[in-house]
Amino acid sequence: MEPDITGKPVAGKAESQLRKGVLEYCVLAILRDGPRYGVELLETLGAVHVMVTSQGTIYPLLSRLRRDGLVETHWEESPSGPPRRYYELTPSGHTALKEFTAIWPHFRDAVDHFITD
């Protein structure tokens, strides 16, 4: 990552494109362990530097995953503040994650083949 004029790191084009390509599956993987609400997902992704993303990215992604039938939602009261929308995997979401998990090592190895000296 290169810093912007304020000194904050800014993702390069390659990093940004890679993140866009795998973010959906990282979210599905996080949800494999149980329901989460949006801010929890952002925090979990943010714990891995290259996966830091924003609310402006995660909520449209979650809406699309919901429309595609990969996640479902329910509301729960929050101990502090308004109710929270929790997202959890559907059977289709588990299947999509399983397919990605099977494909990923081969894809990663293929890319490594071309970029490794």
Selection from 35, 104, 99 nearest residue 73 by Cα: 35
CA distance 81 to 73: 19
Task: Kindly state the tokens that stand for 33.
Answer: 């362990």
Q: What is the pLDDT of residue 7?
A: 55
**Three-state DSSP class for residue 67:** helix
pLDDT digit string, tens, across residues 72-114: 999 999 888 899 999 999 999 999 999 999 999 999 999 999 9
Determine the Cα angle at 75 with ends 95 and 71, to 5°: 15
pTM: 0.85
Q: Which of 31, 48, 49 is nearest to 87 (CA)?
A: 31
